[in-house]
Amino acid sequence: MMMILTSIPPKDEFFKTIIYLLDTYGSFFIRGVLITLLLSVVGTVGGFILSLFLTIIRNQDIDYKRDSWFEIAIKKLGIGFTKVYITVFRGTPMIVQAMIFYYGIAPLRLSFWNPLVAGLVVVTLNTTAYIAEVIRSGINGIDKGQMEAARSLGFSKRQSMFKVIFPQAIKNSLPAIGNEFIVNLKDTAVLSVIGVFDLFKATQSATSSNYRPVEGFFIAAVIYLILTFITSKLVDHLEHKKVKVVNVNA
Amino acid sequence: MKRVGLVLLVLLFGVTLFACQSEDQFDLDEKTSIVVGLEAAYAPFNWATPTQNEFTVSITGQAGFYADGYDVVMAQRIADALGLNLVIKAYGWDGLIPALNAGEIDLIIAGMSPTAERALTVNFSEEYYRSEQVMVVRVDGSYADATSITDFSGAKVVAQAGTLQDDLIDQITGVIHQETLNSYSDLVNALAYGTSDAFVAELPVATSIVQTNSQFMIIQFGEGLGFEVSDEDIMVSVAMRLEDLNLLDAVNEALSGITNLERQQIMQDALLRQPQE
């Protein structure tokens, strides 16, 4: 029988151990990074899109004179839902949401349901709540005069919202949304609890037979830092650009 | 408002009933594969590796990740005896029993001891390995000469969360029973950096850890000097859903075909396949 005899550097050889881990488990780290990026990108982009719906629902105006009782009921229900949604998803840890979603839905035996899908759903729903709040403060930050000006130019309330207020609010919110992406890069590590093979879990696997967690997670830390550093530079760049555009418009 | 409450209640009941709907027994004739859950982080029972060999099985959903170890070899033997394809899925320790009861996996083969508490929610097979409980300490530490668990009076001792080993710590009088940690990597860290003086482990796991950490050593206890343990505590068994009684019989039959000698050999080989310092 063929024996696979591998040797790892002694415990006190920190950098040799790091090279050993990178050399032996490079494929683990690469795959972990890809999954972490996938979770963060899908979570942030999906969260952004869903949060737009939330924002639209939440900013409905109830006109007690003109709306029928049915319209009023639907609108109230919608507004109530967004409030509950945001409170629940911002008020509970993502690790708790992951446990409830993954193990709660698993007994339905859906063929597509696996840890990664559950992770993508949870990170998206979670980010939706945060970005919805970001956009809300973006809307609050728009001067009242913008709405008044739009209305005086003959825009309807809805038109003013969609054509004047939202675009500015979203543009102002972009840096904060970029920050959500950075947060997601780091916080998706908790999804390893349901078996998502992100960078954290991949690192755990890489040290599963050699018990060298410090060296392994040192590598993970450097990778996380590189990812967040690049992203924060991109966000800075975006912010800078935004200021320019506003200046031109002004 | 009352009516809304009633509707919600009915809906909740419906969902609960649906969720609790008892599945039929595992169909040995219909099924073509059996899904085994493990941590892939509990060497030498199970660990993850990027390199394939004749013992490894790929971890489902994680391309490029292979599971290896004593559990994987045993899982393969059981699957072969049942005439089923072996599928391996990896979960965190605390996720294994929920995954089993949610139907995500059919068997847990993860070095799990059949404690009475766990037996309330899952069925356990006959033992597939028998081990002894030992302490791992630093070679240069003050507990290197310990021979009895009473020598650990005043020591900071730690174990993995939710394990038998954690319960055993309380048998040491005067011990500083530390907050549990999540994995054996964490235990190794705690010991290496002096946060703890010792941790409790079963012998094969301890052997595997000492193999990769020459600064550590194992303290084995003589008759009457070690932990008081019941049979169920030193055995590891295959766990399955309570309703899968036919599977229980089949697994037990498969296990009875593997002699004690073979088991020791499989464990020995698994230890050798791990990286050595």
Task: Give A33-42 pLDDT, tens digit per residue.
Answer: 999 999 999 9
Q: Say if A205 is an interface residue toward chain B (CB within 8 Å).
A: yes
**Chain B, window 144-163: residues with a beta carbon less than 8 angstroms from a chain A beta carbon:** none
Which pLDDT value is given to residue B238? 97
- Please say if the pLDDT value at position B8 is more than 80: no
DSSP A61: P
Which pLDDT value is given to residue B163? 86
Per-residue pLDDT reduced to its tens digit, B115-165: 888 999 999 999 999 888 999 999 999 999 999 999 999 999 999 988 889
**Least CB-CB distance to A195: which of B53, B91, B269?**
B91
| For range A189-203, the mean pLDDT | 91
Chain B, nearest residue to A204 by Cα:
B41
Mutant choice from B104, B136, B214, B215 vs A, greatest count of A C-beta within 10 A: B104
Inter-chain contacts counted by CB atoms under 8 A, chains A and B? 125
Instruction: Quickly state the pLDDT bin for B169 (edges 50, 70, 90).
Output: very high
Q: Which two tokens stand for residue A143?
A: 């001067």
Torsion of CA A43, A111, A32, B274, to 10 degrees: 160
CA distance B174 to chain A (A): 29
| For range A202-206, the mean pLDDT | 91
Instruction: Quickly state the pLDDT bin for B17 (edges 50, 70, 90).
Output: very low
Q: How far apart are CA B231 and CA B127, in angstroms?
A: 10
Which pLDDT value is given to residue A6? 61
Q: Say if B265 is an interface residue toward chain A (CB within 8 Å).
A: no
Arithmetic mean of pLDDT over chain A: 89
**Least CB-CB distance to B103: which of A8, A106, A209?**
A106
Per-residue pLDDT reduced to its tens digit, A155-183: 998 899 999 999 999 988 988 999 999 99
Q: How far apart are CA B277 and CA B274, in angstroms?
A: 10
CB of B95 within 8 A of CB of B162?
no
DSSP lists the bridge partners of residue B129 as B236
Q: How far apart are CA B93 and CA B248, in angstroms?
A: 22
| For range B245-266, the mean pLDDT | 94
- Please say if the pLDDT value at position B213 is more than 90: no
Arithmetic mean of pLDDT over chain B: 88
Chain-centre distance of CA B43, in angstroms? 10
Which pLDDT value is given to residue B223? 84
DSSP B114: -
Say if strands B41-42 and B198-202 run parallel, antiparallel, or are unpaired. Answer: unpaired
Which pLDDT value is given to residue B176? 94
- Please say if the pLDDT value at position B276 is more than 80: no
Which pLDDT value is given to residue A2? 40
Per-residue pLDDT reduced to its tens digit, A104-156: 888 787 888 888 999 999 999 999 999 999 999 999 999 999 999 999 999 99
CB of A53 within 8 A of CB of A215?
no
Say if strands B46-49 and B41-42 run parallel, antiparallel, or are unpaired. Answer: antiparallel
Which pLDDT value is given to residue B10? 53
Instruction: List chain B residues with CB under 8 Å of A194.
Output: 91-92, 95
Instruction: Say whether B102 and A7 touch across the interface (CB within 8 A).
Output: no
CB of B31 within 8 A of CB of B84?
yes
Instruction: Say whether B269 and A1 touch across the interface (CB within 8 A).
Output: yes
Instruction: List chain B residues with CB under 8 Å of A205.
Output: 40-41, 47-48, 65, 90
Helix (H, G, I), strand (E, B) or coil at B21: coil
Which pLDDT value is given to residue B12? 53
Q: How far apart are CA A140 and CA B210, in angstroms?
A: 60
Query: Hey, CA dihedral for B38, B43, B45, B47, is it positive or negative?
Result: positive
Which pLDDT value is given to residue B135? 95
Which pLDDT value is given to residue B23? 55
**Least CB-CB distance to A211: which of B102, B185, B273?**
B185
CB of B43 within 8 A of CB of A208?
yes
For residue B35, the one-letter residue type is: V
Which pLDDT value is given to residue A187? 95
CB of B28 within 8 A of CB of B246?
yes
Chain B, nearest residue to A190 by Cα:
B92
- Please say if the pLDDT value at position A63 is more than 70: yes
Lowest mean pLDDT among A3-17, A222-236, B113-127, B211-225: A3-17
Q: How far apart are CA A141 and CA A136, in angstroms?
A: 9
Which pLDDT value is given to residue A1? 36
Reported ipTM: the value is 0.73
**Chain B, window 191-250: residues with a beta carbon less than 8 angstroms from a chain A beta carbon:** 192, 208-209, 212-215
Which pLDDT value is given to residue B7? 54
DSSP B146: -
- Please say if the pLDDT value at position B1 is more than 50: no
